[in-house]
Amino acid sequence: MSKKKSSSQEEYLGKKIYGKIKKAGYNQKTVKQRIEALFLDNIGKVITRNQIIKVATDPKTKKEPENWHQRLSELRTDDGYTILSWRNRGWLRVEEYLMPSASKRVMAAKRVKPNNDTWEAVLKRANYQCEWTEGNVVCGLREGNVDPVSGGKVKLTPDHNNPHSLNPDADPKDINQWRALCGRHQVMKKNYWDSNTGKLNIYAIIQAATRIEKEIAFKFLLDFFGYVLDDNGNVSHAPNL
């Protein structure tokens, strides 16, 4: 009689096992708690976007949350769970997720927030827009706008100008230590900076890159470490020049 394959073996063979929503449903108080419970009930199994939305929907009002994706990201960045997606497992489809284990990473200390007066001053300076800047282009999304990328309504929240791990004691009264960010760019900031070291999270950046960008990074690393990739996809040491 053959032994049942482990979830890691199933992953290796590319055989996906899909999770299920329990019949009793999920009645936890918050969206994040309900999503967390769904994943913990389906360790090592694939969870789909539609399942997450169904569980995230308020069990009493039946209202579908607009920013469920941000709550999902917080399970990674704030709670320390590993939740995989197509960005780090090529065999997962877009809008498929998998929690390989219930273990959590050690996270940084509790975050300081600006006081109400400081936050209002930050919003006025930002003209009530997201201050994320990339390539000299400011995001500019306003509170209540529909995010053209994620589709949810924008909610501006305070962000440390310096990573929390580098400056955990940011002054809640100093406007220059804070900026206003939309939910999508809060997620990007959290994903791109390692909460424990305060350094760039190269792994997360590569995950977020396109396939072409991943290939460029892969070829750069091969060259850096002295390897070559042949036409059949085999990697070997480069001949000495």
In tens, the pLDDT along 117-168 reads 999 999 999 999 999 987 788 999 999 898 887 677 888 999 888 765 555 5
Rounded CA separation 7/15 (Å)? 9
Domain ranges of the chain: 7-98, 116-208, 210-241
Q: What is the 3-state secondary structure (H, E, C) of 158-222?
A: EEECCCCCCCCCCCCCCHHHEEEECHHHHHHHHHHECCCCCCECHHHHHHHCCHHHHHHHHHHHH
The pLDDT tens digits for 61-99 are: 998 887 788 899 889 878 889 999 887 777 888 899 999
What is the H or E stretch that residue 55 is in?
helix 49-56
CA distances from 210 to 47, 69, 137, 141 (A): 22, 20, 21, 24
Query: Judging by beta carbons within 10 Å of its beta carbon (0-12, 13-18, 19+), is residue 63 exposed, middle or buried?
Result: exposed
Per-residue pLDDT for 2 more than 60?
no
Mean pLDDT over residues 183-201, rounded?
69
Rounded CA separation 83/105 (Å)? 12
Report yes or no: 131 and 139 within 8 Å, Cβ to Cβ: yes
Instruction: Kindly report the pTM of this predicted structure.
Output: 0.54
Rounded CA separation 28/37 (Å)? 8
